[in-house]
Each structure stands twice: as structure tokens, then as C-alpha cells.
């Protein structure tokens, strides 16, 4: 058996395992897993196995792994389809019907398990002339957190998101497996030092408390189009509104003293908005905080206001930037604030950005993505959720400890909701985590919905501000800071 044959025909075996933070400890034959990494998706990691590595003595502790034969014609793109971790309250008959329709669509004409037949005429979005989608389904589970693999014609990959049930997201697997890049020991040591030196600092407290709730309300209403001023209908990565938002964000960040760039990463997509504050001392150290400004609406609707997903993370960034300007903070390290696009289609914007940072050998000491900060179920206290699966546990611990000090009103816990832009940085071996609205699965009934507005029950601006305070305090602690001389300090 060979794995690479001529004439565009390829056969491979994919090993799918529950997420193991330290893969090196699992393999007994060096390189079998660590040199054949395809990424981690929804709490599972994917590897490509070579024949010698098929011997089960090559690993230990991989009991729950599954092996998936993969065959496809031509250079099809492999897409991992992942259902989000959602609260049972979101599993409505409407959603179940949507999923069943989707499964039926997948199963029609025997598309399951690598039959490799072509689909046609199913969807408006994919034209009938499409060369087709081949489906390789693995473990579509009846309960939440299902996942599957499909192989599609590469040009269809960027828009496949539009076909999925509302709580499902696509992640494109890389064309070739790569080396598993763990966060280097010195980088972890640096984060541990930051953790050990966490203390209440009244100056940090006053700086983070200067984030303005009133301004955040104005900003979110502009981004969603609720204020009737911006004219934004959708911030979907392919919509005009996302480009309007990108230009506006760049201007707002620049007003705070940052140097910004609109960075295109793929044709058809709105650009990343990347902003920098330069270091006051000579250092390579860079602290990066981020959110994604693109959004997703309901199937068949043009409207995608993204008030929570991820307008909330975007106004947190903006609130932090405005507070940097108002208080005259000057960072000792380099600081980047990045609003990504292409998150909903599979982290395209952040993958390009993180890859570039890795190629430049950037020294990102801490990365924190804010995605969905605004919602908690009625009656629940304000919360902060940290990722259970993807990210650097030391960074999550640091954020957790900062939260206890600067936003004690937040109940901190872990969430299975996953896979936002911090994953792209974690994959490149940078210390990264995410802040999220809930210490549990997603409960926002307007998740991936055209009614994801900022004025609705359960949307809690003060929770967004509390989480932004934590993100900001961690930034101040990790980067170090002084004040510019011409500022009157309070
Ligand atoms: C971080 O918080 C945990 C849990 O409250 C606590 O046990 C630990 O001592 C804290 N670490 C530091 C360095 O403050
Ligand atoms: C990255 O920055 C940290 C903090 O300043 C520093 O300790 C470390 O040596 C730097 N790493 C590299 C590879 O330059
Ligand atoms: Zn999001």
C-alpha cells in the first residue's frame, strides 16, 4: 500500500484522538504523531499515519482514538465540520430539523464514508455546475458536539459555512500535515513568572476601570447597525458591511495612538485590522489581544449584525484602546490589538496572521482572544469562561487570577465552547487563550442568528466591560507600562 500515487489519487489514514496537550508524551516512535499533525478541532486532534506508525505499539494512552481511511479524487480540500458545544436549551425542534435535513443531504445517494460520489443541485449557494463535494463522514454523533470530515473542491471551501446548520462551523485542514509546535519551555516559564507576580495594583485598577460602558454601547450600536447611522446590515466576511466596519475600526484605533494596517489575507474576504503600539523599551516581546469583527447570520438572511458574536469582543478591544488613549498608558513591550475577519469560515484571518508571526519568529509572550462576551442565561451571574480544550493552560490561569483581582464580580469557570482565533496562535506554538461569556456551553439563543443584536434580554454590556477589564489588566501586567509625561494622572 502506498500513500501517494500519481495521477491525482491519494490514500491516507487519519488518526483522530481526543485533544492531548502534550503529544510528545503519547508517541513511542518519535515523529509518528509530532511530524504528521493536521490540527486540533473541537477537542480532537488529527494526524496522518504512515504504515510503520500503524503498529499500535507506536503510541500509548490513545484508547479513544479512531482511524479513518481517507480517499479522494484530485486535490480536494479536507474540511472538518464541528458542532459547537451548546446548552441543551438551544437544541430546539427547529434546530434538530435543521441538523436532520443536513444529515439527509449528506446521506443522500450514499455520500457517507467515502463513497466519493458527487453532489448536485442541493443548494442555491453551490451552483449546480459545481464539480462536487465528496463526503467522508466520521463519527457523526447523535448528541451534541458532533463532527465530521468532508472533502470538497477547493474553491468551495471558503463558502461552505453558508450550508451548515446554525451551530456548525467548518475548519479547513492544511493540505499537508505539519509539525506539532508546542509552546517552547522558556515561553511557558515567562507566563509562569507573570502568574507568580500577580498582585493587586491600584494603578492597573484605575486604568482598567476607565473603560467606558456608555462608549461601548455607542460602539456596538454602530457595528450592528442598530444606531441607524453606520448603515451596516451585515459584517459577514464577504459583505460590504465588513469592509465598512474594517475602515471604521482602523480609524477608531488610530485615534487612540495606534498604527494600524488593513491586512488582506484571502481574495473575497474583508481584511484583518491589525494595530500596534510600539514598545517604550528595546524588546522583541509582544502581547497580542484580539477579537473577530466578522459575523454570521441566519440561513437565507442577509442580516448578520453579530452583536455578541463577535461585536462584543470587538468593542472590548475598542474600549481598551480608548482607555489606553484616555489614561496615557505607554507600554514597555510591543502591543498589538487585532480584529480578525474570516473567523466564521474557519479562522482564515487569524491563521494567516499567526503563520506570518511564526515566519517572522515573533516573540508573542501572551495572546488573548475575546469571542462572545455578552450573553449569560437569565438569572445567571456575570461570568468568564476559559477554554477547556484549546489554549495554553498557564495563560488561562493567569487570566483567571487577574479576573479574581480586577473583576471579582465575574464567576470564572471552564467551557467546552472552543475553537476561536486563539487556536491559530496556539497551533503555531504561541501561548494563547480565549475569554468567553459563560462557564459552560454556548447558551445564547441568538448565536449565529440574524437577530444577534445588542438590545435584547440576556445581552449584558456590563459583563462585556468586566471581561474587557480582565483582558486589559492582563495586557498591562504582561506588557508592563508607564504613563506618557504629558498626561495628568489620576
Ligand atoms: C491563582 O489563583 C488560584 C486560585 O484562586 C490560587 O490558588 C493561586 O494561589 C493564585 N496564584 C497566584 C500566583 O496568585
Ligand atoms: C521574548 O520576550 C521575553 C520577555 O521580554 C524575553 O524574556 C525572551 O527572552 C524573549 N524571547 C526571545 C526568543 O527573544
Ligand atoms: Zn465568534
Q: What is the pLDDT of residues 211-234, one digit of tens each?
A: 999 999 999 999 999 999 999 999
Q: Which residues are CB-neighbours of 287 under 8 A, at least 6 positions away?
A: 331, 333, 334, 335, 336, 364, 365, 366, 367, 475, 478, 479
Q: Find residue 159's DSSP bridge partners.
A: none
Closest ligand, as measured to the CA of 343: 3
Instruction: Name which residue leads in pLDDT, 123 or 433.
Output: 433
Closest ligand, as measured to the CA of 360: 2
**What is the position in ligand 2's atom list of the atom closest to the CA of 363?**
1
Least confident of 33-42, 98-107, 400-409, 436-445: 98-107
**What is the pLDDT confidence band of residue 349, given thresholds at 50, 70 and 90?**
very high
CA distance 166 to 368: 26
55 C-alpha to ligand 1 centroid (Å) = 43
Instruction: Return the residue whose CA atom lies nearest to atom 7 of ligand 1.
Output: 401
Does 141 have pLDDT greater than 50?
Answer: no
Cis before 310? omega within 30 = yes
CA distance 420 to 171: 11
**What is the pLDDT confidence band of residue 129, given thresholds at 50, 70 and 90?**
very low
333 grid coordinates:
513591550
Q: What is the model's pTM?
A: 0.90
Pocket test for ligand 2, best of 193, 197, 284 (most atoms within 8 A of CB): 284
Instruction: Name which residue leads in pLDDT, 389 or 206.
Output: 206
At 60 the pLDDT is: 77
Closest ligand, as measured to the CA of 279: 2
Q: What is the pLDDT of residues 107-123, one digit of tens each?
A: 664 333 332 222 222 22
The topology under which CATH files domain 185-483 is Aminopeptidase (3.40.630)
Least confident of 12-26, 155-169, 347-361, 376-390: 12-26
Beta-sheet strands, E only, within 31-131: 37-41, 44-49, 66-73, 77-83
CA distance 366 to 387: 15
Closest ligand, as measured to the CA of 167: 3
CA dist list (Å): 196 to 193, 340, 394: 5, 31, 11
179 grid coordinates:
509539525
Tell me what the mean pLDDT of segment 293-312 comes to: 96
354 grid coordinates:
499567526
Residues with CB under 6 A from ligand 2: 190, 283-285, 363, 365
Rounded to the nearest 10 degrees, the angle between the axes of helix 213-224 and helix 311-327 is 140
Closest ligand, as measured to the CA of 400: 1
DSSP label at residue 221? H
* 3-state SS assignment for residue 393: helix
At 189 the pLDDT is: 98
76 C-alpha to ligand 1 centroid (Å) = 48
Pocket test for ligand 1, best of 399, 401, 402 (most atoms within 8 A of CB): 401
313 C-alpha to ligand 3 centroid (Å) = 8
Instruction: Return the residue whose CA atom lies nearest to atom 2 of ligand 1.
Output: 401
Cα 347–chain centre separation? 6
317 C-alpha to ligand 3 centroid (Å) = 14
Instruction: Return the residue whose CA atom lies nearest to atom 5 of ligand 1.
Output: 401
CB 95 within 8 A of CB 78: no
Report which secondary-structure segment, H or E, holds 218: helix 213-224
**What is the pLDDT confidence band of residue 292, given thresholds at 50, 70 and 90?**
very high
Phi-psi label, residue 361: left if phi above 0, alpha if psi -120 to 50, beta otherwise: left
| All structural domains of the chain with their residue ranges | 12-172, 185-483
CB 191 within 8 A of CB 398: yes
358 C-alpha to ligand 2 centroid (Å) = 14
Instruction: Return the residue whose CA atom lies nearest to atom 13 of ligand 1.
Output: 196
Residues with CB under 6 A from ligand 1: 195-196, 198, 401, 404
* 3-state SS assignment for residue 467: helix
Q: What is the pLDDT of residues 62-107, one digit of tens each?
A: 766 777 766 655 677 888 888 888 998 999 999 989 888 887 776 6
At 109 the pLDDT is: 43
Instruction: Return the residue whose CA atom lies nearest to atom 2 of ligand 2.
Output: 285
**What is the position in ligand 2's atom list of the atom closest to the CA of 283?**
5
150 C-alpha to ligand 3 centroid (Å) = 22
Instruction: Return the residue whose CA atom lies nearest to atom 3 of ligand 2.
Output: 285
Instruction: Return the residue whose CA atom lies nearest to atom 8 of ligand 1.
Output: 401
Tell me what the mean pLDDT of segment 183-212 comes to: 98
284 C-alpha to ligand 2 centroid (Å) = 7
CB 47 within 8 A of CB 37: yes
Amino acid at each position: 500500500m502506498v500513500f501517494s500515487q500519481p495521477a491525482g489519487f491519494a490514500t491516507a489514514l487519519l488518526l483522530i484522538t481526543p485533544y492531548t496537550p502534550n503529544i510528545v508524551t503519547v508517541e513511542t516512535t518519535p515523529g509518528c504523531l509530532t511530524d504528521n499533525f493536521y490540527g486540533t478541532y473541537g477537542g480532537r486532534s488529527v494526524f496522518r499515519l504512515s504504515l510503520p506508525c500503524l503498529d499500535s505499539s507506536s503510541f500509548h494512552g490513545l484508547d479513544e482514538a479512531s482511524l479513518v481511511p481517507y480517499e479522494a479524487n484530485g486535490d480536494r480540500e479536507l474540511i472538518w465540520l464541528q458542532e459547537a458545544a451548546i446548552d441543551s436549551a438551544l437544541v430546539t425542534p427547529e434546530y434538530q430539523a435543521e441538523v436532520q435535513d443536513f444529515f439527509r443531504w449528506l446521506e443522500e445517494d450514499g455520500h457517507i464514508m467515502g463513497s466519493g460520489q458527487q453532489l448536485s443541485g442541493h443548494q442555491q449557494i453551490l451552483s449546480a455546475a459545481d464539480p462536487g463535494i465528496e463526503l467522508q463522514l466520521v463519527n457523526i454523533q447523535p448528541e451534541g458536539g458532533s463532527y465530521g470530515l468532508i472533502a470538497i473542491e477547493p474553491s468551495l471551501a471558503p463558502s461552505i459555512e453558508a450550508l451548515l446548520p446554525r451551530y456548525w462551523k467548518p475548519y479547513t485542514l492544511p493540505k499537508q500535515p505539519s509539525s506539532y509546535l508546542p509552546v517552547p519551555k522558556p515561553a511557558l516559564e515567562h507566563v509562569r513568572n507573570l502568574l507568580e507576580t500577580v498582585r493587586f495594583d491600584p494603578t492597573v485598577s484605575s486604568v482598567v476601570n476607565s473603560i467606558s460602558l456608555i462608549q461601548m454601547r455607542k460602539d456596538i450600536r454602530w457595528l450592528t447597525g442598530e444606531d441607524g447611522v453606520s448603515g451596516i446590515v451585515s459584517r459577514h466576511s464577504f459583505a460590504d458591511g465588513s469592509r465598512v466596519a474594517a475602515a471604521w475600526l482602523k480609524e477608531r484605533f488610530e485615534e487612540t495612538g495606534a498604527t494600524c494596517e488593513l491586512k488582506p489575507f484571502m481574495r473575497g474576504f474583508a481584511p484583518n485590522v491589525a494595530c500596534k503600539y510600539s514598545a517604550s523599551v528595546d524588546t522583541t516581546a509582544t502581547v497580542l489581544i484580539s477579537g473577530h469583527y466578522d459575523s454570521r447570520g441566519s440561513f437565507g438572511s442577509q442580516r448578520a449584525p453579530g452583536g455578541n458574536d463577535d461585536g462584543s469582543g470587538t468593542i472590548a478591544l475598542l474600549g481598551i484602546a480608548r482607555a489606553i488613549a484616555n489614561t496615557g498608558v505607554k507600554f514597555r513591550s510591543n502591543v498589538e490589538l487585532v480584529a480578525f475577519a474570516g473567523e466564521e469560515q474557519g479562522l482564515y484571518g487569524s491563521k494567516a496572521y499567526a503563520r506570518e508571526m511564526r515566519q517572522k519568529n515573533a516573540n508573542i509572550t501572551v495572546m488573548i482572544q475575546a469571542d462572545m462576551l455578552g450573553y449569560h442565561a437569565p438569572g445567571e451571574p456575570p461570568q468568564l469562561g476559559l477554554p477547556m480544550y484549546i489554549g495554553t493552560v498557564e495563560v488561562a490561569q493567569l487570566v483567571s487570577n487577574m479576573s479574581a483581582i480586577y473583576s471579582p464580580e465575574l464567576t470564572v469557570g471552564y467551557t467546552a465552547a472552543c475553537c476561536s482565533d486563539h487556536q491559530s496562535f496556539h497551533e503555531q506554538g504561541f501561548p494563547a487563550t480565549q475569554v468567553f461569556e459563560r462557564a459552560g456551553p454556548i447558551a445564547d439563543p441568538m448565536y449565529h442568528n440574524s437577530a444577534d443584536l445588542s438590545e435584547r434580554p440576556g445581552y449584558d454590556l456590563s459583563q462585556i466591560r468586566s471581561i474587557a477589564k480582565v483582558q486589559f489588566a492582563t495586557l498591562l501586567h504582561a506588557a508592563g507600562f508607564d504613563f506618557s509625561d504629558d498626561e495628568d494622572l489620576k
